[in-house]
Structures are given as C-alpha cells and as structure tokens.
A and B are shown apart, each in its own frame.
Chain A
Amino acid sequence: GAGVSQSPRYKVTKRGQDVALRCDPISGHVSLYWYRQALGQGPEFLTYFNYEAQQDKSGLPNDRFSAERPEGSISTLTIQRTEQRDSAMYRCASSPGGAKGFGQPQHFGDGTRLSIL
C-alpha cells in the first residue's frame, strides 16, 4: 500500500512477556518516528531514525524499550518484560527527510493498540 503500515493492529499479552511491533514506512521515506499515545492524550515522541541510524532515543521510557531499523526501511519497536503501564497506542510515522528539506509532514500509520493484562 501507499501509506504507513503497522502490525499487529491489536496486541494483548500478559505482564512480563516481550512484544515486537512492526512499522513499514512509505517507500522512499528516510525519516521514521515512533510515538506512544495514551488514552485522551496526544502522541508522545519515543525515537527517531534517519535511514538505519537511530539518532534520537530520548523519548524511550526505560531500557525495556528498544527499536531498530536495520536496512533503513522496516522498523521494529520491542518492549521487554511488559508492564501494565506500557498499555497504549503505539504509532509509527514517516516523512521524506533528507534532501526534501525541513517541515515535511509526517504520515502516521493506524497504530498498534497494546494491552497488557
């Protein structure tokens, strides 16, 4: 498809399990972002990739959270030893970045709704 694709759409898991969330950005987009959106709140930044390089991970809450984008396209956000407070909508966004210049809008995927029991 032409848009940002995220999978799974919904994930329910027990506390203590590891989860992996996948993001397939728009083809050719250099910049990729992960956000977390709690109910009734705006999305909050987690991490940023420029091609395959993770250039900002300042928003990751703790060391249980990690992300990768090994070939500069698909990205995976992994949460280890999940806790109930990790329950939220996790959104991925991509933008052209690079030579396209500053201020290009980010296009968001539909998100993964994560519920920790």
Chain B
Amino acid sequence: AQKVTQAQTEISVVEKEDVTLDCVYETRDTTYYLFWYKQPPSGELVFLIRRNSFDEQNEISGRYSWNFQKSTSSFNFTITASQVVDSAVYFCALSVAFFGNEKLTFGTGTRLTIIP
C-alpha cells in the first residue's frame, strides 16, 4: 500500500519569506510518480508538478522549487519570496501504475497562510 505524510498541518509566514512544505512517502514499488497540487480558497485542485521515481533532479519554476530525494523518501516544495496569492492548501500525492490505474494517494495537506 502507498502512504503520503505531510506532517505540517498549518504554516504561516510573512510575505516575502521563503517557506518549505514537507512531503514523505512510502511505497514498495520501484516505479512511481509524485505530484503536488494546490487548492486555493476557491476550492479547485490545481496541478503544479510531477516527478518520476527515476529522475531525482531538482526542479525550479519561477519562485517554486522541488527537492526529490529517494534516500529519504521525500519530495519537498519550496516557495521563495512568498506572496499572498500563495495562500492555499497544498497536497502531495503519489501514484503507481497498475494496468493503467494510476489512482492517487494524497497526503492530508498543508494549509499555507501568507501574512501581508
């Protein structure tokens, strides 16, 4: 079975500070994908990024960066110079393929509040 743990339930930072959201996963499969989704106050789920289990390169997209480390089973998400618009609940998720079924296992989410 798969498991995703987001130990940080809520985080508050002052605008322009950097913040890192932690994600730890468990799976026995060697081939899997990791995802981050954003759920703003309006409620929709927005896809941010995916990584496959064979690619440990870190990725940067503007103010966002992701650090994937298989040795610690972690896939952490850093926002640099945070902005009020970053306030949202962020979910980390994991999928393994089984005959095309890539159902996602989500963590419980981290609620991020950026204080102006």
A102 interface neighbour in B47, B91, B102, B106, Cβ under 8 Å: B102
Determine whether B108 belongs to the interface, using a CB cutoff of 8 Å to chain A: yes
A97 interface neighbour in B31, B93, B100, B106, Cβ under 8 Å: B100
Contacts of A95 in B (CB 8 A): 102
Complex: A45 Cα to B108 Cα, angstroms? 13
User: Size class of B's contact patch?
Assistant: 20 to 34
Contact between A106 and B106, CB atoms less than 8 A apart: no
Contact between A42 and B100, CB atoms less than 8 A apart: no
Given the known A-B contacts A105-B47, A105-B50, A111-B43, are A43 and B104 also in contact in the complex, defined by CB atoms under 8 Å? yes
- Closest A residue by C-beta to B99: A55
Nearest chain B CB to A102's CB is how many angstroms away? 5
B107 interface neighbour in A42, A48, A107, Cβ under 8 Å: A42
B106 interface neighbour in A44, A56, A89, Cβ under 8 Å: A44
Contacts of A40 in B (CB 8 A): 108-109
Complex: A45 Cα to B99 Cα, angstroms? 16
Determine whether B61 belongs to the interface, using a CB cutoff of 8 Å to chain A: no
User: Size class of A's contact patch?
Assistant: 20 to 34
Interface centre among B31, B50, B100 (most CB of A within 10 A): B100
Contacts of B4 in A (CB 8 A): 42
- Interface positions, chain A 85-102, Cβ under 8 Å from B, are 89, 91, 93, 95, 97-98, 102
Nearest chain B CB to A9's CB is how many angstroms away? 10
Nearest chain A CB to B47's CB is how many angstroms away? 4
Cross-chain pairs A/B with CB under 8 angstroms, 7 sampled:
A31-B100, A42-B93, A42-B108, A48-B101, A56-B103, A103-B50, A105-B35
